Amino acid sequence: MKVSYFPGCTLKNKAKQLDVYARRCAEVLGITLEEIEAWQCCGGVFTTANDEVATKLSSVRALQAAQEKDQALVTVCSACHNVIKQTNHAMQTNASFADKVNRYNDTPYDGSTAVYHYLEMLRDLVGVDKIKEKVVNPLKGEKIAAYYGCLLLRPNSVMRMDDPENPSIMEDIIRAIGGTPVIYPYRNECCGGYVVMESPEFAKKKSNAVTESAASFGASRMVTACPLCKYNLEKNAPAVPVVYFTELLAEALGVKEDANA
């Protein structure tokens, strides 16, 4: 199965592991990620200002590129996924926004591309059972704390990915690769996000609460899908090692070699 793939800027420098392992795991699981040609930044944040169109145009371009190939669009970065899915939803439901956007487009876009986060792809297109089959190095019960952060599942009315208050998508995958998921209360709290630029103290407080909570439940590693979460948790609260969930998956599927090689 072939899908269009939008890696996003951070995955090309700071978060290379997230990208490289995502590609390797997808191959093992029978999915080919076809990187969209000449993609641009997703826009970084989905601005809630209704009249802001410019920052959303690049997301629409990516969605349109997938539509032209009649493929689903897969992203793996929490932030890119959030922006692209919200933009797609706005194209479907907000006529005046869609109209404005389409004035910049050569051909109008109708919001019909299916957008998947890589985790959704694993659950809905691959299936947890298939992942289980492909595991060569099971995690042997290692206690893994999945960290969702705030962007991955919210707003639920648009993301439609999992219950934002009591999610299970990462836990199900952790179980499939032989780990023991740790259910801790802070797994869907904010890490401090971009506030780290303005108030490092605040980010430290938020991140600490997350990692300490995970540690108190006995987690030996944490996994995340978001480069900013990983940055904040590692920098501000290094109580538990944090890896991208794709790295953990690659480990279990036996394709974890040096990402930079």
Partner 1 sequence: MQRIGVFVCWCGSNIAGTVDVQAVSDALKNEPGVVFSANYQYMCSQAGQNLIKEAIAEHRLTGIVVCSCSPRMHEATFRKTAAAAGINPYMVEIANIREQCSWVHKDMLTGTEKAIILGKAAVAKVNLNTPLTPGESPVTKRALVIGGGIAGIQTALDIADAGFPVDIVETKPTIGGKMAQLDKTFPTLDCAACILTPKMVDVAQNENIRIFSYSEVTAVKGFVGNFDVTIKKKARYVNEDVCTGCGACVEKCPMKKVPNEFNLNMDNRTAIYIPFAQAVPKVATIDPMHCNMLKNGKCGVCSKVCAAGAIDYKQQDQYIEEKYGAIVVATGFNPISMDKFDEYAYNQSKDVITSLEFERLTNAAGPTAGKLLRPSDHKHPHTIVFVQCVGSRCSACAEKGKEYCSKICCMYTAKHAMLTRDKYPDTEVYVFYIDVRTPGKNFDEFYRRAVEEYGVHYIKGMVGKVSPEGDKLKVQASDLLNNKQLHIDADLVVLAAAIEPDKSARPLATMLTASMDTNDFFTEAHPKLRPVESPTAGVFLSGACQGPKDIPETVSQASAAASKVISLLVKDKLTGNPCVASSDELMCNGCSSCERVCPYGAITYVDKEFRMPNRTIAIRRVAQVNPAVCQGCGACTVACPSGAMDLKGFANNQIVAEVDAICK
Establish if 165 lies at the interface with partner 1 (CB under 8 A).
Answer: yes
CB-wise, 105 or 216, nearer to partner 1?
216
What does the block give as tokens for 144? 């893994």
Nearer to partner 1, 29 or 214 (CB): 214
Nearest CA among 182, 236, 227 for reference residue 209: 236
- From 64, 154, 169, select the one nearest 115 (Cα to Cα): 64
Instruction: Number of residues interacting with partner 1: please give it, by CB under 8 A.
Output: 9
Minimum separation from the CB atom of position 163 to partner 1 (A): 6
Shortest Cβ 231–partner 1 spacing (Å)? 23
Burial class (CB in 10 A: 0-12, 13-18, 19+), 107: exposed
Whole-number Å distance between alpha carbons of 1 and 52: 36
User: Closest approach of Cβ 241 to partner 1, in Å?
Assistant: 22
Q: Residue 127 carries which side chain, given as an amino acid letter?
A: G
For residue 161, the minimal CB distance to partner 1 (Å) is 14
* Dist. CA 195–CA 200, nearest whole Å: 7
Residue 258 interacts with partner 1 (CB under 8 A)?
no
Residue 107 in the binding site for partner 1 (CB under 8 A):
no
Report the interface residues with partner 1, using CB under 8 A.
157, 163, 165-166, 185-186, 189, 213, 216
